[in-house]
Amino acid sequence: MMKRFILATSLILAACSSDPEASGLDVVRNFVTPEEYVPPPRFTALFNEPRPVLDVEFTDLGVTGKLILEQQDGPYARYISADLGGIVLQKGMLHSMYGFGEPLAGADLTEPLGLVIAGRAGQTDRLHTYLNGEDRTVSRTYRCEVSIIGQRSVDLPTGSVETTLMSENCHGITNSFENLYWVDRKRDEIIQSRQWAGENIGSLVTQVTFP
């Protein structure tokens, strides 16, 4: 019996696999006692040059933190976190999310973004596409009222920025929400906001700091 116990212990400690996707034991081991997280090179490499940083607070969950810009594609800014969660902003308006518990796959923001950036009031539609629990896309349309609240100064680590504060009140069949945007008048871009992401995580507050 003792021999078997020693054999079992040593073999389990020596458990190994040629499969980089981990042996069965690794799966269990990592799930039960996750090793201290080391950010991957894809994330750390971004610190080689000055990049915009996105401060995020998930207001309903009480979680805050920072993401860094991975790539700017025209109006789309892709930010990633240390554990490679992702947030895509379109001129500062929330477009899609990866890995934060809210499967927002994409959004058509053409109408609200047009009014908000231009600092004009009016009625718009916005479209969100989510992934449901069965990996199928579900689209939601919201009717929104964009309003001008007024001029505001926003204090960023790099200095004070003059903005126009805009609000967007949206109603859909299943949800209603209010978004707030602080639009940098020089950049024509939202630098601070409170936006609703979806049913799972609710709203988030964002602030972009440019280098």
Tokens encoding 45: 């490499």
Contacts 24+ apart (CB under 8 A), 46-53: 46/70, 46/80, 50/211, 51/211, 52/77, 52/79, 52/208, 52/209, 52/210, 52/211, 53/208, 53/209
Q: Is the dihedral of CA 75, 81, 82, 84 positive or negative?
A: negative
Cα 180 to Cα 148: distance, rounded to the nearest angstrom? 10
Among 36, 153, 159, 211, binds other proteins (CB under 8 A): 211
Q: CB under 8 A: which stretch of 4-12, 114-122, 166-174, 187-195 binds other proteins?
A: 4-12
**Shortest reach from residue 151's CB to other proteins, in Å:** 29
Q: How many residues bind other proteins (CB under 8 A)?
A: 79
Q: Which residues have CB under 8 Å from 63's CB, separation 6+? A: 57
Q: Of these, 91, 92, 93, 103, which contacts other proteins (CB under 8 A)?
A: 103
Q: Which of residues 135-154 bind other proteins (CB under 8 A)?
A: 135-137, 139
Near other proteins by CB under 8 A: residue from 92, 93, 94, 107? 107
Which residues between 12 and 71 bind other proteins (CB under 8 A)? 12, 14-21, 23-25, 27, 31, 37, 39-40, 42, 47, 50-51, 53, 56, 58, 61-68, 70-71
Give me the phi and psi of 82, to 5 degrees please.
-60, -30
CB of 63 to other proteins, least distance (A): 5
Among 35, 36, 38, 73, interactor with other proteins by CB under 8 A:
73
